[in-house]
Amino acid sequence: MSEKVSPLRQPAAPVSAAAFTHEVAGLIVEALNLDVAPADIDPAQPLYGEGLGLDSIDILEIALVVSKRYGVQLRADGEENERIFGSLRQLVDYITAHRTK
């Protein structure tokens, strides 16, 4: 049995969790042209519906920029899907674990 298997794919350029959260928040604000500063998005607040008030059109747009920037293709039938957009923090965690670029 090989001992050399890496358990997790690491981000291409490791940054602190807080900085990466800010980066993703900035990406969302820019993609959706939101009237809010990235730093003002509460990482624990729901993204969908109440909270930040995004709808399914926004979620599709976020999925698109996330796939382009980080190489993560989201799937609706994955069990994690509802959780991923539960909050900014959960979205960031998901990208961190699955990014390919």
Partner 1 sequence: MLNACADRYHFTVGFAASLVSGKLSLLPSTRTPEVVRQLRAFAPDVVCLTDEEDCDIELPRVPYPRGGGRPDTSPPRAPALSVPAIAAAQPAACVFTSGSTGTPVPYRKSWGPLIGCVREGAWRLGVAGGASCAIVATVPPQHMYGLESSVLMALGEGHALCAERPFYPADIAAGLAAVPRPRILISTPIHLRALLESGIALPGADLIVCSTAPLPAQLAADIERRCATRLLEIYGSTETGQIALRRPTQSAEWRLWPGITLSVRGEETWAQGGHIEQPTRMWDVLEVTGDGLFLLHGRVADLVNIAGKRSSLAYLSHQLNSIPGVVDGAFFHVDDPRAAHTGVARVAACVVAPQLDAAQVVEQLRRRIDPVFLPRPLVFVAQLPRTSTGKLPQEALRSLAAAHLKSA
Question: Footprint of partner 1 on this chain (CB under 8 A)?
Answer: 33-35, 49-50, 53, 55-57, 60-61, 63-64, 67-68, 73-77
Q: How far is the CB of 62 from partner 1 (least distance, A)?
A: 10
Distance CA 3, CA 78 (A): 30
When the beta carbons of 17 and 83 are compared against partner 1, the nearer one is 83
What sign results for the dihedral spanned by CA atoms 14, 18, 24, 26?
negative
When the beta carbons of 3 and 77 are compared against partner 1, the nearer one is 77
Retrieve residue 65's tokens.
């920029």
> 90: closest CA among 61, 62, 64, 69?
62
When the beta carbons of 3 and 35 are compared against partner 1, the nearer one is 35
